[in-house]
């Protein structure tokens, strides 16, 4: 089974009482953190998860709301009282790794080699990547359409065992692109950014500034054949009007659409 915990769901400037988008996926003994924004330690603590439990960290791209917590996470491992504790495996594109290294250098320099000794998996930025992190867990990454400065990757997590297959997909920050259909194919849960609303801001109907609308998210969920659609990374201008984005996506997609709150946990396979 796969459990998805929404640690944070906000855009770069999140709504009040919200935090930046980040997720924890628990599959068997593997705990995969997706993005590591500035409040990551507080986000984990809020759901009772210790950083010691994280086995992998996947970074979608280098923008601050997705990586500024990285030095703090590494510092947590350095200050841990368990000398045997290993930092998690880091997964990113070469471009994002360059930014992470620079961020660490200006924040703390070397912290007794903790960040430097963390295992790394480099995935391609310009093409589809496939990484087997466990005999039953496959990660597929694909380029999204976001920013030349901060090229972004989406992620598909697929588990297989004798009881069947489970799939969850994350677009990360992105405008419309064909790779979303690949990542989200037959997903039980598609976590799709919906920074803007085509209903409330028609000028953004085709996406804007490397981001999508709830309408685009709904269309992609329908194309993917997804079962459930989570709208995340919603701009703070829509605070209190999240229902409008849900209704917008529902006009395109007849599956379950919701706007998660921080701390929500979903187990794939549940009704």
User: What confidence score (pLDDT) does residue 114 get?
Assistant: 77
pLDDT higher than 90, residue 55:
yes
For residue 271, what pLDDT band results from cuts at 50, 70 and 90? very low
Gyration radius of the chain over CA positions: 18
User: Total structural domains in the chain?
Assistant: 1
Whole-angstrom distance, CA of residue 95 vs CA of residue 72:
20
Q: Which residue has the tokens 């930014």?
A: 99
Q: What value does the mean pLDDT take over residues 6-27?
A: 93
User: What confidence score (pLDDT) does residue 79 get?
Assistant: 87
What's phi and psi for 190, nearest 5 deg?
Answer: -110, 115
- The token duo for 170 is 């994350």
Q: Which domain holds residue 236?
A: 2-267
- The token duo for 23 is 């997720």
User: What confidence score (pLDDT) does residue 96 get?
Assistant: 98
pLDDT higher than 50, residue 174:
yes
User: Is residue 11 a contact partner of residue 268, using CB atoms and an 8 Å limit?
Assistant: no
pLDDT higher than 80, residue 29:
yes
pLDDT higher than 80, residue 112:
no
User: Is residue 146 a contact partner of residue 173, using CB atoms and an 8 Å limit?
Assistant: yes
pLDDT higher than 90, residue 176:
yes
User: Is residue 16 a contact partner of residue 237, using CB atoms and an 8 Å limit?
Assistant: no
For residue 235, what pLDDT band results from cuts at 50, 70 and 90? very high
pLDDT higher than 90, residue 137:
yes
What are the beta bridge partners of residue 129? 141
Dump pLDDT digits (tens) for 240-268: 999 999 999 999 999 999 999 999 999 99
Name, in order, each residue with C-beta under 8 angstroms of 73's C-beta and a sequence gap of 6 or more. Answer: 36, 40, 41, 51, 57
Dump pLDDT digits (tens) for 88-109: 999 999 999 999 999 999 998 8
For residue 85, what pLDDT band results from cuts at 50, 70 and 90? confident
What's 152's domain CATH number?
Answer: 3.60.15.10
Q: What value does the mean pLDDT take over residues 168-183?
A: 97
Q: What is the mean pLDDT of the chain?
A: 94
Nearest to 56 by CA among 150, 129, 157: 157
pTM (predicted TM-score): 0.96
pLDDT higher than 90, residue 203:
yes
User: What confidence score (pLDDT) does residue 109 get?
Assistant: 80
């Amino acid at each position: 089974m796969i459990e998805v915990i929404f640690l944070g769901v906000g855009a770069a400037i999140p709504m009040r009482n919200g935090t930046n988008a980040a997720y924890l996926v628990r599959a068997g003994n593997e705990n995969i953190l997706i993005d590591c924004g500035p409040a990551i330690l507080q986000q984990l603590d809020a759901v009772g998860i210790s950083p010691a439990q994280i086995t992998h960290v996947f970074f979608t791209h280098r923008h601050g709301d997705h990586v500024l917590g990285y030095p703090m996470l590494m510092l947590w491992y350095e200050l841990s009282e368990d000398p045997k504790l290993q930092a998690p495996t880091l997964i990113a594109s070469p471009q994002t790794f360059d930014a992470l290294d620079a961020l660490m250098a200006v924040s703390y320099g070397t912290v007794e080699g903790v960040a430097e000794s963390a295992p790394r998996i480099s995935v391609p930025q310009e093409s589809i990547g496939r990484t087997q992190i466990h005999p039953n867990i496959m990660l597929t990454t694909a380029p999204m359409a976001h920013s030349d400065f901060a090229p972004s990757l989406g992620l598909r997590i697929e588990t297989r065992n004798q009881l069947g297959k489970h799939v969850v997909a994350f677009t990360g920050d992105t405008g419309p692109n064909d790779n979303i259909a690949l990542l989200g194919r037959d997903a039980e849960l598609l976590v799709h950014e919906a920074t803007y609303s085509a209903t409330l801001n028609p000028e953004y109907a085709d996406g804007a500034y490397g981001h999508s609308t709830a309408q685009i998210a709904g269309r992609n969920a329908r194309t993917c054949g997804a079962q459930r659609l989570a709208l995340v990374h919603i701009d703070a201008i829509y605070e209190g009007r999240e229902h409008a984005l849900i209704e917008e996506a529902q006009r395109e997609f007849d599956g379950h659409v919701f706007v998660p709150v921080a701390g929500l946990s979903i187990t794939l396979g549940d009704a």
